[in-house]
Amino acid sequence: MATSRPKAVLDWVNNRLGTEELMEDQYNRIVPIHATNYIYCFGGIAFVLFIILVITGILLAVYYQPTPDTAYQSVVNIATHVQFGWWIRSIHKWAAGAMVLLVFIHMLRVFFTSAYKRPRELNWLSGVALLMLTMGFGFTGYLLPWDQKAYWATRVGTDIAGSTPFIGHFLLVSLRGGETISAATLGRFYDLHVLVFPAIIILLLGGHFWMIRRHGISGRL
């Protein structure tokens, strides 16, 4: 009797959401033989890394305090006192770097195999937006430890944005929350890193995957 309860729950969920039909459609979908080549796997691996970043990011956010007086010490506390904190932070750091690299390699593969051409133009544009967002994740996350390296890296990065013709000063002030890097900068970067960018990237990923499913995997060059 006890063993049938989980099955009954699953049957109830399947009956209302139609998950069995969805999974059956996925299993029966034919994948082109050339898509089994490893060069077609970078996008999927990048998505797995994104899931890892979400999980480890949530765990880090439990202990991180985004204020100038407490940010650095909270990172030190995570690395030295929180159980497995150093391990989770290391995974988050290396997964972030690997995701940027893999998304870039994935974009190169799409470009050199001409997978951006009709009818996949919108998927290419969404991929470019995802690459920009991934780099934005790295840039905003770099400031959060609030140490000297993070401060000067952010100052250089925002100065580069500030040198943009016509809108440079607007970009600089918008990123920093003022003329200098301050508590407002840390707060903005934290909000972008944990709220704004994740919401946008999830929407873009949904559209990206839907278009891949609609048009299929591109053929060989």
In the chain (221 residues long), the average pLDDT of successive 10-residue segments reads 72 81 70 77 95 98 96 97 96 97 96 90 96 97 97 97 96 96 97 97 95 80 53
Q: Which residue has the tokens 């439990």?
A: 62
DSSP assignment letter at 179: S
Q: Which residue has the tokens 């920093």?
A: 176
Residue 72 structure tokens: 């650095």
Which CATH architecture group holds 36-215?
Up-down Bundle (1.20)
* Count of positions (residues) in the chain: 221
Q: What is the pTM of this model?
A: 0.88
